[in-house]
Structure 1
């Protein structure tokens, strides 16, 4: 058993635009209590509290109060880093690393994922922590269950990464699935704080130094807006993981979904026993009697000010609806 100090870093940014109209700027998907009466954020904290000694929450100013309200349920100390403006995951993780000791192992998790498979998850974490203690940057690969075009892929052999691949078209995704050594890129990471900062400075010095300048001026965890605008917006994948020579992957067997689309929400809810009709149509957000005629695999999403009906397979197109509303500054966002 590895005995290093482990800090769970929860990233709470993001608005879940592909889950509009359920997910809004004022109530992003990670705070929706749709999942067994709990939010995804709450589930994320709960499943990692036994492995981690410390905890850091990184999120934007808009989510600050919602995050605090959930953390109060756990009655445990934590550090809250509040971004004045989102600058993507490389900077967000850098702030957590600056707030930690160099040898602290950071377990980085988004706040809006569903993970099942308790022992498999625990085993994967212990493998990752062991590799991180050897100064590797660790990512988790999820075994694909279908030829998914909405995720990036990791090509690997054992624990060694051969290559990262961007979101593929359907034919390429089918090839990845058949080959068996391509896993979904989960967005979960594990590494020493100092090792990450060392790699960030080497690969993206502008991000490193601009983030460091912001961190040095932080006041009670709140970051300065003007200084933050100097940080290039870039993900950890592009900044570090796809460019470092010290990457390892833990091929994970646990159940995982980022619930990034209504198709994945549909699959999760149906798996949990959500009502479904004979043509596999479902309703989310209302108990009002609803009848579907002549359609299959449809989802009706109801909120107080918006109604949407979509074919499950067209879930990725919801983001276009969101972008259209954004272009006209709609109050529905």
Structure 2
């Protein structure tokens, strides 16, 4: 039995346009103290893992390789997806190329997590539960009524329900009740246990993924067979349906860095300048003035400029979808 850090790296970061593009998704932006989120993820979990396995896609696997090299990590395995099929398929591929008793610590590559005792305690508890045959998710204690995250309703380590992204009033009620946690998207389980549950609830995902994996050559999955795999999230496929689910209530500092609001808060903490009204410029050294505006973010790249109110950060995805 070994522990494998499965790094998921297939997202495009559509809510961070124009910084994040299809050619360089948000996990590869070197704006986090000179490192990328991908690098931070890989380095953070070395202490808990015997092996690193990256599940990416044909558009970004070379970026992953560069980041791993910069991080001094040369021993790793890859699964390269021919087309995006969501998280259920990505995790299934990782389980299929592992031994049934191997423990997979599944971590997205685009999250900012503060290392330390709280993170170490949570991961070690998750590994312990995984060894007992449970499928483990990690829930973060909410610090605000966030509408951009899914929630987990729990009683201790027992999961009562998964909740979709709420509106502001519902999010506040979750916060007030005290037994709701942000769904981190981090998981831990034995490969064989996950595959057994997937085959029970989503046999077509399991079978189609298995057939595609059989034809994998030089880490690359075949496109024709991959397109036959249903594109669904792992939450829907397994987590919300299995009776083997457990949650580890966690208190480490976590952000999915999925919006400019998150980026803004991070940059404030690291000393990035704002004016007296909280207005911020990202990506330009040009002198910029804001009049009659507060908490406004101006993002400048070589070929695009975005101006938005911090509280409207979730709407950037609509711009991205209109442009692609």
**TM-score category (smaller protein):** over 0.9
1:166 to 164, 167, 173: 164
Alignment of 1:69 onto 2:35: no
Could you tell me how far apart the structure 2 residues matched to 1:68 and 1:117 are?
Answer: 23
Superimposed CA distance per residue, residues 171-208 of structure 1 (whole angstroms, 9 cap, x where no aligned partner)? 11010000010000000000000000000000100000
Q: Secondary structure at the match of 1:72?
A: helix
Aligned to 2:221: 223
Shift of residue 68, structure 1, vs aligned partner = 0.8
Q: 2-side partners of 1:29 and 1:291: how far apart?
A: 27
1:127 aligns with 2:125: yes
Return the alpha-carbon distance in structure 2 between the equivalents of residues 266 and 320 of structure 1: 19
Kindly tell me: are residues 75 and 117 of structure 1, through their superposed partners in 2, closer, same or farther at Cα, counting changes over 3 Å? Answer: closer
Residue 24 of structure 1 corresponds to which residue in structure 2? 21
Q: How does 1:4-23 map to 2 (within 5 A)?
A: 4-23=1-20
Q: What secondary structure, in the 3-state scheme, does the structure 2 residue paired with 1:277 have? A: coil
* Distance of 1:76 and 1:309 partners within structure 2: 40
Deviation of 1:117 (Å) = 4.1
2:254 is matched with 256
1:35 and 2:57 equivalent?
no
Shift of 1:78: 0.8
Corresponding residue number in structure 2 for 1:175: 173
* C-alpha separation in 2, matches of 1:129 and 1:114: 21
Match of 1:188 among 165, 186, 189: 186
The 1-side partners of 2:93 and 2:73 are apart by: 23
1:58-80 per-residue CA deviation (whole Å, 9 max, x = no partner) reads 01100011111111232331111
How far 1:89 moved relative to its partner? 0.5
Q: 2-side partners of 1:191 and 1:76: how far apart? A: 25
Counterparts in 2 of 1:109-128, with a 5 A limit? Answer: 109-128=107-126
- What's 1:330 paired with? none
Q: Which runs of 5+ in 1 are unaligned?
A: 327-333
Cα distance in structure 2, aligned partners of 1:5 and 1:123: 19
TM-score (norm 1): 0.96
Give the aligned partner of residue 53 of structure 2: 56
Deviation string for 1:78-108 (max 9, x for gaps)?
Answer: 1111000010111100111011111110000
Q: Distance in 2 between matches of 1:62 and 1:187?
A: 22
CA distance in 2, matches of 1:69, 1:39: 11
Q: Distance in 1 between matches of 2:155 and 2:35?
A: 37
Match of 1:44?
Answer: 41
Shift of 1:324: 1.1
Alignment gaps of 5+ in structure 2: none
Q: Deviations over 1:6-49 (max 9, x none)?
A: 10000000100000000000110000001100000000001101
Structure-2 separation of matches of 1:269 and 1:142:
21
The residue that corresponds to 1:90 in the other structure is: 88
SS of 1:50's equivalent in the other structure is helix
TM-score, structure 2 normalization: 0.98
